[in-house]
Amino acid sequence: MEKYLYIALFAPLAGSIITAFFAQFPKTLFTGIFTSFLIFVSFISSMILLNYVDMNTVVNVEMMDWISAGNLSIPFGFVVDQVSVIMMVTVTLVSTVVHVYSIGYMEHDESFNRFFSWLSLFVFSMMTLVMSDNFVGLFIGWEGVGLCSWGLIGFWYKKHTASWAANEAFIMNRIADLGMLMGLFLIYWNIGSLQYDIVFAQIVNLDISTVTWIGIFLFIGAMGKSAQFPLHTWLADAMEGPTPVSALIHAATMVTAGVYLVIRCGEIYVLIPEVGMFIASLGAFVAVFAASMALVNRDLKRIIAYSTLSQLGYMFVAAGLGAYWIALFHLMTHAFFKSLLFLGAGNVMHAMDGELDIKKMGGLYKAMRPTAILMSIASVALAGIYPFAGFFSKDKILEVAFNDGSYLLWGALFVGAGLTAFYSFRLVMLVFFGEKVHEKLGFHPHEAHTFVIYALTPLALLAIVAGFFEHSFHEFTTQLLANYEFTLDHSVALVLIFATSAMALSGIAFAVYKYKRGGFSENIEQWGVYKLLSNQYYIPKFYEEVIMKPFTALSRFAWKSIDVKIVDATVDMIASIIYGAGEKARKVHSGNLSSMLRWMVVGIIALLALAIFYRPMV
C-alpha cells in the first residue's frame, strides 16, 4: 500500500515539475492533459487507499530522516488514516475536475502552461499538508499551499489589483502563521516531539494553561488559513485570481486547512473546552457576518467567497463543539457543491466576457442551460434542502449546537441558514432568470465547451448524493476521531430539521418571489444598513486607515530618516574614505623605479624603527 501512498503524493509534483519546463513557452495542450491525468492517477490511488484503510490498518511510512540534530528528530513521515484519506479523496477529486475544467477555461490564456504547473504544485502541497504524520510536515504543506495561493491569485500579475490581492493574502497568512509557529514551538518545548501520535499521547500530562496556549496559538494559524474574522478580508480580494483557482483553493481545499487542523488536533481541543467554545462562537459569528455581506454584494465571485466564509464558520462551530466528524463531513460536502458553484460562475463569467456584476446579467438561462442547472443544484445543496448534500451536513451542525445547549449559537446558525438560502437564490435569480439586462448592454453569452460541462457532472452528482453517505462516513471517521454523543430526543431533532428546512425554503421562496418581480427598488441602496454591508462593515477601510496608513508612514520614516540618513550614510562614508585614500595613494604607482625604491627605503626605515623602539609587553 505504500506504493499507492507515494503515487498519490508525488504524481501531482511530477506533473508540476515537468510542466514547469514548458512554463515559458506558448500554450501546449499537452501540459493541461498531462497534469490532469496525473492528478487523476493520484485520485485513483487515494480511492484505493480509502478502500484499504479500516479499523486496524493505517498506512504509516517514514520516507527518510529529514532533520535530526541532538534530541530533535523530524522524519519525513506520512500517514494515511481515516481523516487524511477523506481529505485526500476530496482534494484529488475536486482537483481533477478543476484541472479538466481549466483546460477549457484557460484555453486562450498566454500562460496556460504556467497555470497548470502552479495548480499541480498546489495539489502536491495540499497533499503534504493532509498526509504528514507530524506537525512540521503539516507546516511545510501549510506554507506550500500559501505560496501556491499567492502565485495563483496573482496569476495575472500584470493587473495591479491581482498582485495586490496576492500580497494581501500572503501577508495576512504570514501573520497567522506566526501564531501557528508559536503553537508548534510550545508543543516541542513541552513534549519534545512533533509527531502526532506522541504529542496526542502526552498532551494530557501537560499543565492545562500550557495546553490552552497551544490551542489558542494553533487556532490563530487556522484563523488565517480559513479566513476567519478578523483575518477574513483577504478571501474576498483573492477572487482576483482565475476562477478555477477560486474553486479549488479558496473554496474546496486550502481554506478548509484550518478546519482540518482543528479536527486533527481534536485531542488537544478536547482538553480545553473553553477554547473550543471560543472557536464555535467565532465560527457562528462569521457564519452570520459573512452571509450578511453576501446579501448585498453585486460581484458574482465575491458573493460565493462570502458564502464560503460563512460555511467555514459552520465548520468551526462543529469542530469547536467537539463534533469533529461532522465538521469533516461538512468540509467534504461543502468542497463538492462550493467548487461546483464556483466553476459554474466561471462559465457565466466567460460567457459575459469577464463581467462580474450580477445586476448586468439576468435571463442567462436561455443561453446556458447546463450551467444554470448545475449552479442551481449547487445552490440548493448550499441552502441545505433535502435530499441534497448540504442538508445532511449543515443540519447536523445545527443539531450539535442545539444539543450542546448553546442556543445562541444555534440561533445564529439558524438565521445564517436563512440568509444562505436567500443570497444563493438571489444570485441564481439575478444571473439566470428575470429580465435580460445583458442584451441591453450588448453581451452575447455562449455556453462553455461540452467537455467542461461533463467535467462538472461528478461534482453535481456528489452535491446531490453525498449526504446519503452520512452513516458510513460516521462509522469510518469515528474509528479515529472522538465520537459525538447526541442526547437530543428524536422528536426534538425532527422538529429542528423541519425548522431549519423551513427557514431555508422560506429564504429561497422569498428570493424567488422578490426577484421574479424585479427585485428591490433602487432606493434601498440609500439605507444605512445597505451601505454598511456593501462596504463590508467598513473593515477593509478600517484596516487601511488604522493599520496600513500608520505602518506606511512608519516605514517611510524608517526608510527616509533611519535607513538613508544613518545606515546608508555610514556605509557610504566608510566606502568614500577608502576610495579617497586610494585616490591619494595611487600617485605612488608612478611606475618609476627610483621612486619605488625610495618608498621601499622609507618602508625599511619605518620597520627598523618599529623593531628597535617597539617592545611588546611580555
Partner 1 sequence: MITLTHYLVLSGILFSIGLVGVMKRKNLLMLFFSTEILLNAVNVGFVAVSHYYGDLTGQMFAFFIIAVAASEVAVGLGLLVLWYKKTGSTDLDTLNMMKG
Q: Which residues bind partner 1 (CB under 8 A)?
A: 586, 589-594, 597-598, 601
Question: For residue 34, what are the contacts with CB-CB under 8 A and spacing of at least 6?
Answer: 15, 18, 19
Angle, CA of 235, 330 and 471, to the nearest 5°: 170
Amino acid identity at 533: L
Burial zone of 156 (CB within 10 Å; 0-12 exposed, 13-18 middle, 19+ buried): middle
Min separation Cβ 615 and partner 1, Å: 23
Min separation Cβ 136 and partner 1, Å: 57
Min separation Cβ 181 and partner 1, Å: 55
Min separation Cβ 140 and partner 1, Å: 55
Instruction: List phi, psi (to 5°) of 74.
Output: -125, 105
How distant is the alpha carbon of residue 423 from its chain centre? 22
| Paired strand residues for 72 | 69
Residue closer to partner 1 (CB basis): 490 or 589: 589
CB 418 within 8 A of CB 506: yes
Residue closer to partner 1 (CB basis): 160 or 587: 587
Min separation Cβ 579 and partner 1, Å: 15
The sign one gets for the Cα dihedral 83, 84, 88, 94 is positive
Min separation Cβ 124 and partner 1, Å: 58
Angle, CA of 63, 68 and 74, to the nearest 5°: 50
CA atoms of 10 and 88, how far apart (whole Å): 13
Residue closer to partner 1 (CB basis): 57 or 590: 590
Residue closer to partner 1 (CB basis): 562 or 596: 596
Residue closer to partner 1 (CB basis): 471 or 586: 586
Residue closer to partner 1 (CB basis): 552 or 592: 592
Residue closer to partner 1 (CB basis): 516 or 598: 598
Min separation Cβ 574 and partner 1, Å: 23
- Phi/psi class of residue 489: alpha, beta or left (left: φ > 0; alpha: ψ in -120 to 50)? beta
CB 334 within 8 A of CB 390: yes
Distances (CA, A) of 442 to 293, 348, 431, 438: 29, 15, 16, 6
Cis amide bond preceding 230, omega within 30: yes
Residue closer to partner 1 (CB basis): 201 or 609: 609
Residue closer to partner 1 (CB basis): 593 or 617: 593
Min separation Cβ 611 and partner 1, Å: 16
Min separation Cβ 587 and partner 1, Å: 9
Closest by CA to 382, choosing from 328, 348, 425, 321, is 425
